């Protein structure tokens, strides 16, 4: 009787472990904002006219996922906290593990402010499985190239 009980416990544990291994453990293992497309110049500080890049690394993904990137207002003149920045939403589909890449040009002329860049990982059914975000700061001003062009006009 003792051996059967022990065998039943071991079999149950093995069954639970096998189920856990078959379940999706897909996750967003990394999320970074940067000044370059490759993500080598990691930063959260930008100037007017800079392009904001973000990379979300998806790991342990057995199937297709969609990564939805967008920006919301944290603190900016003339904008309401929590509002989504117009035209900032981008959806990137990945067939398996990989890096979803995002870029968004800041406003050419801006009063600056703080914004939140968010990446949400959705499974094939559209359920949110993971999410990461980073707060960035955009300095007020006008890009140098635009300022030079204005000076050349009569």
Residue with the bigger pLDDT between 122 and 26: it is 122
Q: Rounded to 10 degrees, what is the CA torsion of 50, 73, 133, 36?
A: 0
Fold of 26-142: Immunoglobulin-like (2.60.40)
Q: Where in the chain does DSSP place strands (E)? A: 27-34, 45-47, 51-59, 65-76, 90-94, 98-105, 113-122, 128-139
pLDDT of residue 25: 83
Query: Where exactly are the structural domains of the chain?
Result: 26-142
Q: Kindly indicate the confidence band of residue 145, based on its pLDDT and cuts at 50, 70 and 90.
A: low
Which tops the pLDDT comparison, 103 or 148? 103
Rounded to whole angstroms, the Cα distance separating 65 from 107 reads 30
How high is the pLDDT of residue 99? 96
């Amino acid at each position: 009787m003792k051996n059967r009980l022990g065998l039943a416990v071991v079999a149950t544990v093995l069954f639970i472990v096998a189920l856990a291994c078959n379940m999706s453990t897909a996750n967003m293992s990394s999320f970074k904002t940067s000044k370059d497309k490759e993500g080598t110049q990691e930063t959260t500080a930008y100037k007017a006219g800079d392009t904001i890049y973000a990379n979300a690394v998806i790991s342990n993904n057995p199937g297709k996922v969609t990564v939805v990137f967008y920006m919301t207002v944290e603190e900016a003149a003339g904008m309401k906290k929590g509002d989504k920045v117009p035209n900032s939403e981008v959806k990137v589909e990945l067939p398996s593990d990989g890096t979803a890449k995002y870029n968004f040009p800041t406003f050419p002329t801006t009063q600056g402010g703080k914004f939140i860049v968010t990446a949400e990982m959705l499974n094939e059914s559209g359920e949110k499985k993971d999410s990461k975000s980073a707060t960035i700061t955009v300095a007020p001003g006008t890009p140098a190239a635009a300022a030079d062009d204005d000076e050349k006009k009569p």
